[in-house]
Amino acid sequence: MTVTHSHTLAAGAGEGPWRSVGAGCAIGITLSLRLISLAALVFAGALSVGVVPGTAAFLVVSILALGVGVVTRFAPSLAFLIAQSPPVAVLLPTIFTIAGTVATGADATTALATTFAVLALTGLLVGLTMAVIAAFDLAWLARLMPATVLAGYFSGTAVLLILSTAASLAGRDLLDWSLPAPGAAELWRIGLTLAFALAAILAYRRFSGLGTIAVVALSVAGFYLAGTGLGLSPDALRDLGLLPQQLGGSGTFDWGATLALWGPGLIGSVDWVLVGLALPAIISAAVVAVLGSLLDFSGVELVARSEIEADGFLRSLAATNIVGGMFGVPATYLSTSSTVLAHELGGQGRLVPISAIATLLAVLLALPQVLTAMPVFVTAGLMVQLAWITLDRWVIRSHLRGGLWDKALVLGIIAVALIFGMAPAVALGFVAASLIFAFTYAQLPVVRRAATLADMRSAVDRGGAQTRHLDREGHRVAIAVVEGFLFFGSVTRLLGHARHVLAADPKPDRLILDFSRVKGVDATALEALRKLDFIAGKAGTAVVVAACAPDLFDRLEGSGLFAQGTAFDHSATLDAALEAAEEALLSDAGASSVAPGSGGALSALTGLVRDAARASDLLALMDRRDLAPGETLIEAGAEGREVFLVDEGRVAVLAQRPDGSRFRVRSMRAGAFVGEIASYAGLPRTADVVAEAPSVVYVMAPGTLDAVARRDPALAAAWHEVMAAALAEKLNRTTLALRDAT
């Protein structure tokens, strides 16, 4: 796959390699701290037997993801993949419930196996969903989710993370706070956690990731120094609950037995009933993970200033999550904060992720010792800091200054997540997003343009008498250019516009609806159009739906909208609908001078020079020519200055497509001039002009006009006035056509 990179390995090696190595080590430490803290929260209490293999799984998947990225370069070199906390936070109430079954007599191995199954299914679902998104190019769907709903989702996961941490420190079920007040040891853990979290938050705000590393180092050193000063050994600190229980010292830890817990035999101990009950949480966690991955995708591109080939990256990310799911990792995606840290430290090229991988491997090899040496308040405090970072991004900076409804929706999603669980909160978010989308879309002007036939015409040029009649009577045909998707929100605006048009005095004879920009209709819109049928029928107005897409036409026809006896009719194109409306107005006129087929050459000249005798003199200068259907009057590319005036019949201006086929640009009826632009501009003919029916045209030859100019300058001037008027009218029609096309 193709990815545009800002830096290469050579750039990193030649431009401060030690800085890149240092940046990678710092990022490896921050990633390790986050993964260790996340795993410590998941595998606590009755599930603590799985903390080593669980943490190892988190580390291994991150190492594999970074390694694949370095080798295949499916992402910028400063993009880092890591197991993320929001989907884990969604699963924590379920995991706490599973762990709680041990207290009621369930086997600890069953609880661990069931937890693994929940985590694994989430990772697999995330991976498969990303694969579908990549296959069908659906990443754009994430942009339809309102920012307020996203703020509610991620803020809800942050609050769940904080409450889960507090419950873990207090040794309680996440939703059960009815137990007696916490003891001294619990208060110490909670107090130290709050103090550490506050220090970590302040350090992060001031120094970003390096601040977190510094606070962790100082806190761990200070903790052990304080313990030594108070005469407390590590075992005594464990008894106080300030250190995790001993997992084995260096050289005595049995990796084989521990990792066997994560082997295939674990599947046989799964309580699938509990897994089934956890499906809403699994789906909700997958939704949060997919949305988070798509959002951070753009964020990493902006920070790294490096474009990612979306489909290839999403396929790789899908494979990473499927593999991660097999290890029991619920969701792995990009970490924007790690990319920011790499840039702040001046890291460049692939040395950064390689150094990060080396650091993660070192932590993995010493994992039992690291886990047993890490104070509980540090891992818990890092989770609180991580939750604060999420709240700061989605609520504090963005939505405390938002409107009342924004705040209410965010708080509502958080409240539902805490009271009923994340699945109902996700459902609430989708309902809210749908309503916001419907309301917002309904406010868009569904009628792009409203006009009448007086200012919007077909591609048919007519004589002056017919044109003036259409100018006078064009108000009898109303036109509405409709756009967008017609549904329960937007179709009411179309119906309201139609009511307004039909309430005019006098009422229009015809309402043309241009549906060329309409993307689709729902059942409510079909019902509204059927309602318009009887409203228009009562008003005596015909409704013509023009330029429907084939699938849209099938829906309208299938609803019975065009059945016999309805007020509705249809036209293949807007131009055809406009031409039919023009013909109807001219037929209703009654006067022979404006009826279709009338208004020939003499009538056109008389209307332009306003002198019947002068018009007759001009016509006498022209040569009559009869055309059979299909006969060519003008050939594209030909030289010539003749000007033609249609007296009877109809000719068409035909342009050529790149494939050689021709299409009609305009039609010329009696009274229309042809070829005057090329004649006066001295240019070759730009299109073919062919007779569509038996026709009669009059030809003004350039030699004739030159002779008239010498013997009767006034008559020649009259001809030039006619041409100026005809050209001005044609320019005006072209301007209107261009306006209609925008």
pLDDT tens digit sequence for 389-408: 999 888 877 645 556 788 88
Split at pLDDT 50, 70, 90, the class of 189 is: confident
Tokens 């089934």 belong to residue: 276
Residue 699 has pLDDT above 50, yes or no: yes
For the chain, give the mean pLDDT. 86
d(C-alpha 266, C-alpha 113), whole Å: 5
Contact 152, 409 (CB under 8 A): yes
The tokens of 329 are what?
Answer: 């990792």
**528-563 tens-digit pLDDT:** 899 999 999 999 999 999 999 999 999 999 999 999
d(C-alpha 265, C-alpha 263), whole Å: 5
Split at pLDDT 50, 70, 90, the class of 268 is: confident
Residues of the chain with pLDDT > 70, as a percent, come to 89
Q: How far is CA 461 from the centre of its chain?
A: 44
What pLDDT sits at residue 441?
A: 73
Which domains does the chain possess?
A: 9-378 (no CATH), 447-589 (3.30.750.24), 601-741 (2.60.120.10)
d(C-alpha 267, C-alpha 114), whole Å: 8
Residue 598 has a CB neighbour count (10 Å cut-off) of 20
The SS3 assignment for 736 reads helix
**147-182 tens-digit pLDDT:** 889 889 999 999 999 999 988 888 766 555 455 566
Residue 529 has a CB neighbour count (10 Å cut-off) of 22
Tokens 């897994």 belong to residue: 275
If you average pLDDT over residues 38-63, what whole number do you get? 92
DSSP 694: S
CA dihedral angle for residue 367, residue 372, residue 375, residue 380, rounded to 10 degrees: 60
pTM: 0.69
Backbone angles phi, psi at 6, to 5 degrees: -80, -30
What pLDDT sits at residue 11?
A: 38
What pLDDT sits at residue 1?
A: 33
